[in-house]
Amino acid sequence: MNSLLILSLALLLELCPNPYGSDDAEYIKVYCPDSCILKDDKAEIILKEGFYTITRNKSAFLEKFKPEGELLESPRNFSLSNSGEEICVSSEKITDCFYYGRDLQILDSGIIYFRNKGEWDFKYEDWSGFNCLSEHIKGRLIITPADFKAENFRIVSYNFFADFEPSELFVDPKGGARCGVDAKFLSGPYRHFHYKFGVRENKVIITTENWVFSKKGYIVEFESQNFANALNNLIEYDKRFLSENKSCSGNAVSKSLGKGKSTDFEANATLLILPDCNPVLEFIQSANKRLYIIAPYMSFDWFNDQGLLWAIRKAKENGAEITVVLSEEYSGEEADILRNEGIEVKKISNLHGKAIIADDRVLITSANMNKYGLKLNREIGILIESEEVADFILSDIESEKVSFWVIIVSLAFFVLTSYLFWKFRP
């Protein structure tokens, strides 16, 4: 990491201005290519060439964090501001600054600001650090509505009202669980525990739905011991966020929904554990030929000017033909914004699933297309490198369009024949 930062001439590497608990553990990590000055609006620190971690209190820092380079204590009148001020490092050739609340529009306890490929990014200090995991798999994609049950799987979900019994169940208390099922509730540093997956031995299920499959969504099922191990490790990590919530509400939802549509596939796939491994915006902007974003709704609100709309614009600059498919129940301004950008927007009914097609790759994810799903929530996703799977999903979306026009044409034909029958009646 250091060599990349040196090449980009970034001097400010990482800041934690307001850690959980005592501010004595606050810190900043810097790189000086030569002698430099670190300063805020009240004090300054002169540094020689090298890497430094500057903190208010070494002991408090070392209880929570690891230093990079030489660990120094700052003067008492030097503090990392929480809002509205700027901190800078200046060398002979460059000045690098971070402005609180402007470079990234989020201020909160426990946030660590850091460089990600030269740009400012952030995480909370108690977020995990899972990496992306890739493997060649054989599996099946199911498009719901469909009858589907995952009996005796370890199940993770935002909510759970399905009529089958998991071997172990974890849900977000804001989503809830039906009465009669033994649910464990997760509450912690993520805005929502919104992921949806199941694991049993080497069998894995990743879905966009909360295990009642009555709306249009997606299920990916396959066997992979490596992916299963990673997801079991994720569950064990997130157990530290177990809450005391023991409430339940409602009964199991039981519906007869048929088999749905399905296709078998064999392809390279990548498991995404968000927000740790989170290349979704990069995936969107990588499209060169075609980009489809399928989601019930979306929001362009972001922490800087490089969010979802920016990624879509990048794909358009690449020459990709872009279509966004939203729920017909959604009436937000984003559809008009997209149309004004020259992007096709379609709406279909009963949509809950989230999928992104960039050229011949498909991302199926639990994440909604907003700043919560793409950054602040615990989410899951699987990226499948398969033109056949991409085409299968698009053919289903096109069939929704055909069905709509079949209804319109049929209605028009009925009205016309009724009129002609009335006009030329004996």
The pLDDT of residue 233? 98
- Confidence tier at 79 by pLDDT (50, 70, 90): confident
Q: Report the candidate in 161, 354, 160, 174 with the shortest Cα–Cα distance to residue 274.
A: 354
- Confidence tier at 4 by pLDDT (50, 70, 90): very low
> Which DSSP helix (H) or strand (E) runs through 344?
strand 344-348
The pLDDT of residue 101? 86
- Confidence tier at 421 by pLDDT (50, 70, 90): low
Question: Look-up: residue for tokens 């009205």?
Answer: 415
CA atoms within 13 A on the CB side of 64: 21
* 139 has a pLDDT exceeding 80: yes
Lowest pLDDT segment from 6-10, 230-234, 242-246:
6-10
* E strand residue ranges, 23-132: 27-32, 36-39, 44-47, 50-55, 70-73, 86-90, 95-99, 111-116, 119-124
The pLDDT of residue 414? 53
- Confidence tier at 40 by pLDDT (50, 70, 90): confident
- Confidence tier at 407 by pLDDT (50, 70, 90): very low
- Confidence tier at 272 by pLDDT (50, 70, 90): very high
The pLDDT of residue 413? 54
* 6 has a pLDDT exceeding 80: no
* 54 has a pLDDT exceeding 50: yes
> Could you give the C-alpha distances from 132 to 270, 273, 303, in angstroms and in order?
7, 7, 23
Which one is predicted more confidently, 84 or 399?
A: 399
* 256 has a pLDDT exceeding 90: no
Lowest pLDDT segment from 6-10, 32-36, 245-249, 340-344:
6-10
**What number is the average pLDDT over the span 124-140?**
97
**What number is the average pLDDT over the span 270-286?**
97
**What number is the average pLDDT over the span 200-204?**
98
The pLDDT of residue 229? 98
* 419 has a pLDDT exceeding 70: no
The pLDDT of residue 402? 41
Distance CA 197, CA 231 (A): 8
Three-class DSSP labels, 157-226? ECCECECCCCCEEEECCCCCECCCCCEEEECCCCCCECCCEEEECCEEEEECCCCCCCCEEEEEEEECHH
* 409 has a pLDDT exceeding 80: no
Distance CA 371, CA 308 (A): 9
pLDDT, tens digit (0-9, with 9 covering 90-100), for 141-165: 999 999 999 999 999 999 999 999 9
Q: Report the candidate in 179, 145, 63, 152 with the shortest Cα–Cα distance to residue 348.
A: 145
**What number is the average pLDDT over the span 86-115?**
92
**What number is the average pLDDT over the span 245-253?**
86
Q: What is the mean pLDDT of the chain?
A: 91
Strand order in the sheet with 111-116: 70-73, 50-55, 27-32, 12-16, 111-116, 119-124
The pLDDT of residue 43? 86
* 362 has a pLDDT exceeding 80: yes
The pLDDT of residue 254? 84
The pLDDT of residue 331? 80
**What number is the average pLDDT over the span 15-42?**
92
For residue 342, give both structure tokens.
């020259």
The pLDDT of residue 255? 82
